[in-house]
Structure 1
Amino acid sequence: MMTNAVKWMPEGMHSVTPHLVVAGAAKAIDFYKQAFGATEITRLPGQAGKLMHAALRIGDSVVMLVDEMPEWKALGPIALKGSPVTIHLYVPDADATIATAEAAGATVTMPAADMFWGDRYGQVQDPFGHKWSVATHQRDVTAEEMQDAMRKMSQPS
């Protein structure tokens, strides 16, 4: 009996990996490098200059991306007029990362602030329509402390 030496998940990957569809994947790669310090792992060009597949490393995670291809029903958030998905990114300094992303072309949709769940947290939208939440964990909070903080927030002053 042969044993399979190939692991069920490639080295360096995590169980859940975002796979983004963007209008202009090559430009998106450049943006993610500037905004989030991404490093390019792979790029597979297809016909007419579109990318059939690309992978970037941001922090300890991989983000895959592909160009929009309407013929395959692969549309990005701009073509879809929005997205219900937000990609969450933990970084050492949320304020600095948000500022860097803004300088690279992102729109700040929520400035960083200290949150009741223990993170310094803000949100940006990249030029390709994807929403990113950016956070730095500052303190551990119990479930009871979070519930109490939420109750206080919902009470009128």
Structure 2
Amino acid sequence: MASPIPTGREGLIPHLVCSPCSEAIEFYQKAFGAESAGCLMAPDGQRVMHAEILIDGKVIYLADDFPECCGGSERNPKALGGTPVTVHQYVKDCDAAYNRAVEAGATPMMPMCDMFWGDRYGIVTDPFGHNWSFATHQRDLSPEEMQQAMIEAFEQADAAQGA
């Protein structure tokens, strides 16, 4: 009897719609060191029906856009004018991960910086419209320390905008 949850597929799995998906797979391999875990082409032989990649051993599903199967409209971030979703990854060296993604063709969205919650953090957007953030945890803060650091960070940002 088959397991209701396949081994290695426990927990949440991001499922990204990319256009074109085959180029996204190549980009993710170059930018994030992704490994291919399988690819099923659509009957048209041109689009990816379902692909799986592994980044640091974690599964991400990918597919081309199939508007004919999804209510007649495209669902990839570029067609939608962007995405509010960010795929987040903790890494040992977030600056190196960020720079690797940018060198591979990602667009810097938020430069790497030390954040009030104790992480070094930055965001890029890949050529297919998906946001990726990288962080390296630097220090542990209590909830009270984090709250105070947030207030100070926002006060500094407000003062800089008023200058």
- Structure 1 residue aligned with 2:26: 30
Q: Tell me what 2:68 maps to.
A: 71
The answer to whether the 8 A contact 1:35-1:104 is kept is yes
Shift of 1:125: 0.1
Q: Is the 8 A contact 1:14 1:61 kept in 2?
A: no
CA distance, structure 2, for counterparts of residue 130 and residue 60 of structure 1: 20
Q: Distance in 1 between matches of 2:38 and 2:62?
A: 10
TM-score of the two chains, using structure 2 as the length reference: 0.88
CA distance in 1, matches of 2:109, 2:27: 17
Which letter maps to 2:143?
A
> Equivalent residue for 2:152?
152
What residue identity is the alignment partner of 1:149?
A: A
Partner Cα separation in structure 1 for residue 47 and residue 155 of structure 2: 52
Cα contact 2:37–2:52 (8 A) shared by 1: yes
Contact 2:117–2:150 (CA under 8 A) maintained in structure 1: no
Aligned counterpart, 2:57:
60
1:119–1:135: 8 Å Cα contact kept in structure 2?
yes
- CA-atom RMSD, angstroms? 1.5
Unaligned segments of structure 2, at least 5 residues:
none
Q: TM-score, normalised by structure 1?
A: 0.91
Structure 1 regions of 5+ residues with no counterpart? Answer: none
Percent sequence identity is 48
